[in-house]
Structure 1
């Protein structure tokens, strides 16, 4: 029953001690980046932790400033605001930023992370800001659900307040565990700060931790709790001891409720104030769910659960009752384009709320972040944000 203790649970869930100590993440050139294309630095959190971050410059922008960047010192940057890369980001009115939240285990450049950063920045003007959560890599502290959300908020505070970027130039991308962090950060900014970002992309995501663990297998081979499905009472006992819950579907549903209610109220206010533009008053949510059909770690059905949960506030009958699961499935099918065995795209739009789900046939659990759906969706979101300005 060791798995019921918080210490063991968190080591299993976050696997933050699986860190390649022999790899110096303050030297991004070791992972194929140009000299000083990446600035390695630390960010403070509101509860006093220090988290490791990378700011990756897009290569076309890097090329314009190559001589100046290469003349700067390499390694860890003690004051990121004094760096040339920060100056470039802060003073470029066309700069767009991807804030990336990675999955469990390893550190910033591990597995597919460095290759994905290279791909996103290779031919675009997209900057990347990625962080190691508390307890990961060279970040201080130990991981908890609330702590990881605070880490994500520290990254967004840096982007919004320190770098001065507007929210419509920022996309949040979360992969696996990082998708839950992205949902938590987006929900907090929508609820507490009234801030809506250009988009939130959830890659290989899960609806909540209990459901995910019931079907999760490490590397697709080693099941965690799946064998206990034959013993439901034991499974319920263990799941009842979880200290972190990661209710991503509910958090995203909360954002839909916030945006929908706010727009209804603003619509009523606009009618009373003819000088106020309806377009200016609108809040928005662009949510994208991307999952590979051959993901053996987190079943792709988890995205279906998120899609159905998030739609709840938008699909009601005349009496205000939410649609049943069967009704939602029928409505979703009307908006679905099938693209071959196991692959489809479903898109639901309701005012300024857009929810898009893509099931891609290949990519497994990790490689999917390198496959076309993710980069194409980044492009779509930024293009749509530009059209709305």
Structure 2
């Protein structure tokens, strides 16, 4: 339940009848995850009569549903795997609006699969770093093996906590004996690591919780030792970009977008900035200590967008890195804004070339 609403009846969040199919994804360690398949609007319009005749509510066998067949049987269908942030469920806050905004870029092609992690919403279990990665892998394997959508037609969207999960996912899938590489990754409001996040997190954007300790690295390291989940996103991002750049496999490519609003009170936008330039430094085969030198060129690289903030694009042999820093959007509003919808669509278009 979300605010007294049953997540198995998505019409309560403004969706058309049976536009969203609630179902479950099974994980390798025995968890059952609540999920939504969100149908693009034009596909729904073309099949409305048949869709509304089907029963509503959670589906036990999604393979038998019309909406699922419309995804699986369409060779032009595109898929977004949606990994949400730390609070609430897949129906909370601005997420329903975000789903609609994403599909709007191509209402006849872009389907969305979203899950709640273990311990979230109606799911049992306790969230953990390893557990959430298993959950993301379950969604990814469902998309590939059950829905039959190859990674090259799939973009990973993630926000806040979900960005760390997404990075772990793409690195893990790329390191398999039969490696897979997605069309791209779009991250909104990412963080460098849990350790750095605890040092910079602010209450209502005003009171830094641990910033006084940040001046004393030994104390910060001591505190971080008590945090079970490390989520070292910056290291995972570097590893993935390095892997692609050094691989002789032509499919080992990356298309990564970082979007981070400057007025984000929860995760300061500097986290997104540090991640982006760490990826740039890795793609340019620079050592860690050169990132500070690279910083001298950041201002020149920015394409100013007035009150819209700025953007940066960096293209390399095996991939492309995009950064969007809008002036406005806070922590959650941004994911429903056009900057994110455009980023996802641009990622698909770039992957078609």
- Indicate the TM-score class for this superposition, using the shorter chain for normalisation: over 0.9
3-state DSSP class of the match of 2:6? Answer: coil
Change (3 A) 1:342 1:233: farther
Change (3 A) 1:52 1:68: same
Of 350-359 and 52-61, more deviation after overlay is shown by 350-359
3-state DSSP class of the match of 2:351? Answer: helix
Q: 1:145 aligns with which of 106, 129, 148?
A: 129
Q: For residues 16-53 of structure 1, give each alpha carbon's deviation from its aligned partner in whole angstroms, at most 9, with x where no partner exists.
A: xxx73732100000000000000001110111111110
Match of 1:289 in 2: 258
Structure 1 Cα separation of the partners of residues 36 and 83 of structure 2: 11
State the 1:155 CA deviation.
Answer: 0.7
Structure 2 Cα separation of the partners of residues 222 and 44 of structure 1: 41
Task: Verify the 8 A CA contact 1:80 1:86 in the aligned structure 2.
Answer: yes
State the 1:336 CA deviation.
Answer: 2.2
Q: 1:53 aligns with which of 29, 32, 35?
A: 35
Change (3 A) 1:250 1:234: closer
Counterpart mapping for 1:158-307 below 5 A: 158-192=142-176, 193-217=178-202, 220=205, 224-226=209-211, 228-229=213-214, 234-263=219-248, 266=249, 281-307=250-276
Structure 2 Cα separation of the partners of residues 136 and 219 of structure 1: 24
Structure 1 Cα separation of the partners of residues 255 and 200 of structure 2: 28
Task: Verify the 8 A CA contact 2:22 2:34 in the aligned structure 1.
Answer: yes
Task: Verify the 8 A CA contact 1:312 1:323 in the aligned structure 2.
Answer: no
Number of residue-to-residue matches in the alignment: 350
Structure 1 Cα separation of the partners of residues 332 and 154 of structure 2: 23
3-state DSSP class of the match of 2:247? Answer: helix
Structure of larger gyration radius = 1
Query: Structure 2 length as normaliser, TM-score?
Result: 0.93
Q: 2:84 aligns with which of 91, 102, 119?
A: 102
Structure 1 Cα separation of the partners of residues 211 and 330 of structure 2: 19
State the 1:353 CA deviation.
Answer: 1.6
Match of 1:374 in 2: 340
Match of 1:6 in 2: none
Change (3 A) 1:223 1:48: farther
Query: Structure 1 length as normaliser, TM-score?
Result: 0.85
Change (3 A) 1:225 1:36: same
State the 1:187 CA deviation.
Answer: 1.0
Structure 1 Cα separation of the partners of residues 308 and 70 of structure 2: 43
Q: For residues 153-174 of structure 1, give each alpha carbon's deviation from its aligned partner in whole angstroms, at most 9, with x where no partner exists.
A: 1111111111111211100011
Task: Verify the 8 A CA contact 2:181 2:251 in the aligned structure 1.
Answer: no
State the 1:322 CA deviation.
Answer: 6.0
Counterpart mapping for 1:307-326 below 5 A: 307-316=276-285, 324-326=290-292
Structure 2 Cα separation of the partners of residues 221 and 45 of structure 1: 40
1:41 and 2:10 aligned:
no
Task: Verify the 8 A CA contact 1:253 1:311 in the aligned structure 2.
Answer: no
Task: Verify the 8 A CA contact 2:308 2:328 in the aligned structure 1.
Answer: no
Change (3 A) 1:386 1:67: same
Structure 2 Cα separation of the partners of residues 39 and 311 of structure 1: 39
3-state DSSP class of the match of 1:130? Answer: strand
Q: Tell me, which stretches of 5 or more residues in structure 1 are unaligned?
A: 1-18, 267-280
Structure 2 Cα separation of the partners of residues 38 and 218 of structure 1: 35
Structure 2 Cα separation of the partners of residues 336 and 305 of structure 1: 14
Considering only aligned residues, what root-mean-square deviation do their CA atoms show, in Å? Answer: 2.0
3-state DSSP class of the match of 2:175? Answer: helix
State the 1:378 CA deviation.
Answer: 1.1
State the 1:343 CA deviation.
Answer: 1.9
Q: 1:115 aligns with which of 97, 103, 108?
A: 97
Structure 2 Cα separation of the partners of residues 328 and 188 of structure 1: 29
Change (3 A) 1:66 1:381: same
Task: Verify the 8 A CA contact 1:40 1:53 in the aligned structure 2.
Answer: yes
